Amino acid sequence: MNIQKELLTINPFSRPGTKLIVVKAIVIHWVGSVGSTAKQCRDYFESLKSQSSACYASAHFIVGMSGEVIQCIPNEEMAYHVGAKTYTPDAMGCLGHYPNNCTLGIELCHPTTEGYFTEETTRAALELCALLCTQFGLNPARDIWTHNGITGKYCPKWFVDHPGKFEDFKLGVAIMMGKR
């Protein structure tokens, strides 16, 4: 898998440089900005270092609509991708009181407001998740989450609107890993 490393500058708003405690899960997001490229999303995260307000946002990886993958934050560092005032009971039980410190975040680009992902995006995301699950000993059925499953936020829209598609995605990761 070709992963382009374009690490964010260490800063308080998008790359704090804090080490993860452990990797317990992968969290899937949608970028929420129709037609945005992976590079545009990465550059948005980078731009947060110069802000005057306090917006915190980032992810470890961004998968573009052509299947390109950009890594913004090293796997051993925390990203700001699932911060919230409250978390779902399931997330609290599995991931603790602050899931940013034990999860890897993946943003997926999308071409329309419906939020579906291109074949290329889906394929690259499957491959990336299989790689990360293998690297960290994760079970795709249990350890791949949506942002919605952790905080209740409507993200990623496509998987929230079509939960069966999310189950298919996790099964696809397991198949890529040779687990099914």
Cα-flanking dihedrals φ and ψ of residue 69, to 5°? Answer: -125, 125
For the chain, the average pLDDT equals: 96
**% pLDDT > 70, the chain:** 99
At 26-39, the pLDDT tens digits run 999 999 899 999 99
Whether 145 is in a domain gets the answer: yes
- For residues 124-151, give the mean pLDDT: 98
- Residue 102, classified by CB atoms within 10 Å of its CB into exposed (0-12), middle (13-18) or buried (19+), is middle
Give the per-residue pLDDT at 179: 74
Whether 126 is in a domain gets the answer: yes
Three-class SS state of 82: coil
At 142-157, the pLDDT tens digits run 999 999 999 999 999 9
pTM: 0.97
Whether 100 is in a domain gets the answer: yes
Whether 170 is in a domain gets the answer: no
The domain that contains 37 carries what CATH number? 3.40.80.10
Whether 168 is in a domain gets the answer: no
Three-class SS state of 67: coil
Task: Report d(CA 41, CA 52) in Å as an integer.
Answer: 19
**Amino acid in position 69:** V
pLDDT bracket for residue 54 (50, 70, 90):
confident
Whether 52 is in a domain gets the answer: yes
Q: Which structural domain, as residue segments, surrounds residue 140?
A: 3-9+18-151
The number of domains in the chain is 1
Whether 157 is in a domain gets the answer: no
Q: Taking a C-beta distance cutoff of 8 angstroms, is the pair 48, 100 a contact?
A: no
